[in-house]
Chain A
Amino acid sequence: DQQVKQNSPSLSVQEGRISILNCDYTNSMFDYFLWYKKYPAEGPTFLISISSIKDKNEDGRFTVFLNKSAKHLSLHIVPSQPGDSAVYFCAASAGGSQGNLIFGKGTKLSVKP
């Protein structure tokens, strides 16, 4: 049973518009969430994270929102650029001393010029 779910396999957005990628989780013990971006033939690279004590974290064009009651987080990219086209993975961890990350299946974002 998947603990981290990204229900949209793909998303297409026009350049300059907002991209919203969604992620749901089931484990209430998760207290740290990350987004990774992956280009073809490369490994995932860290994008942005959020701790469960916050509901929003912003870094330039990227903002992550966390709704703990709904067990839902989202990544907003605004404005979207063609270079943002990649697969985005949501990941979660349950804290403590273990570095275990539980990943979603990913959402492929295509930003069209």
Chain B
Amino acid sequence: ETGVTQTPRHLVMGMTNKKSLKCEQHLGHNAMYWYKQSAKKPLELMFVYSLEERVENNSVPSRFSPECPNSSHLFLHLHTLQPEDSALYLCASSPMLLAKNIQYFGAGTRLSVL
């Protein structure tokens, strides 16, 4: 148990659906992250939030929309996804937004887009 919980663990959606991924951290951290891990590719950073403000958006398509309502919760809203968006989506948190802060990961949401 890392203190970072992601729901749902698995999600299957059609290309016209709208769904949301949820991440909650119980560690009192101030920074939260969304990563994407596609098959045979390294983890790719998608979004970074620090104190509920987005500080990084790594050229992610607009069909992915993050939301951070407070420092404990992070959402990733999905709409009109493509089959190539099928991947493992990982959430992480760290005490502060510093390169030397260890990031704590959730178990991820396995997303399949049909």
The interface of chain A, by Cβ under 8 A from chain B, is 2, 4, 31-32, 34, 36, 41-46, 49, 51, 89, 93-106
- Set of chain B residues within 8 Å of A99, measured between Cβ atoms: 31, 33, 48, 50, 94, 96-99, 101, 103
The interface of chain B, by Cβ under 8 A from chain A, is 2, 4, 6, 31, 33, 40-43, 45, 48, 50, 55-56, 90, 92, 94, 96-108
Task: Tell me what chain A mostly uses at the interface: helix, strand, loop, or mixed.
Answer: loop
Supply 11 further A-B pairs (C-beta < 8 A) apart from A43-B92, A99-B31, A101-B45.
A43-B4, A89-B43, A95-B100, A98-B97, A99-B50, A99-B97, A99-B99, A100-B56, A105-B40, A105-B42, A106-B42
- Set of chain A residues within 8 Å of B42, measured between Cβ atoms: 2, 4, 89, 102-106
Kindly name the residue among B6, B31, B41, B98 whose own CB sees the greatest number of chain A CB atoms within 10 A.
B98
Q: Which residue in B2, B98, B108 is a CB contact (below 8 Å) of A97?
A: B98
